[in-house]
Amino acid sequence: MARIGLIDYGAGNFSSVRNALDYLRLEVIELRNRAHFETATHLILPGVGAFASAMRRLEQLNLVDELKEQVLVRKKPFLGICVGMQVLASLGREFKETLGLGFIEGTVDKIDGEGHGLRLPHVGWNELNLIRSSPLFARMNGVPTFYFVHSYHLLPKERSVIVATCEYGTEVVSVVEKDNIYGVQFHPEKSQHDGLQLLKNFAVM
Residues in contact with other proteins by CB under 8 A are 12-16, 19-20, 22-23, 48-50, 53, 113-114, 118-127, 142, 145, 147-151, 166-169, 187, 189-193, 195-196
Least gap, CB of 27 to other proteins (angstroms):
17
Q: Is 16 exposed, middle or buried (0-12, 13-18, 19+ CB in 10 A)?
A: middle
What is d(CA 63, CA 45) in angstroms, rounded to the nearest whole number?
A: 11
154 pairs with which residues across the strands? 108
Q: Which is nearer to other proteins, 14 or 78 (CB)?
A: 14
Least gap, CB of 162 to other proteins (angstroms):
17
Q: Which is nearer to other proteins, 102 or 113 (CB)?
A: 113
Q: Where is 110: in which H helix or E strand?
A: strand 106-110
On the CB side of 94, how many CA atoms lie within 13 Å of its CA? 22
Q: Which is nearer to other proteins, 71 or 183 (CB)?
A: 183
What is d(CA 44, CA 49) in angstroms, rounded to the nearest whole number?
A: 16
Least gap, CB of 12 to other proteins (angstroms):
5
Other Cβ atoms within 10 Å of 1 Cβ, number:
7
Residues known to be catalytic: 82, 187, 189
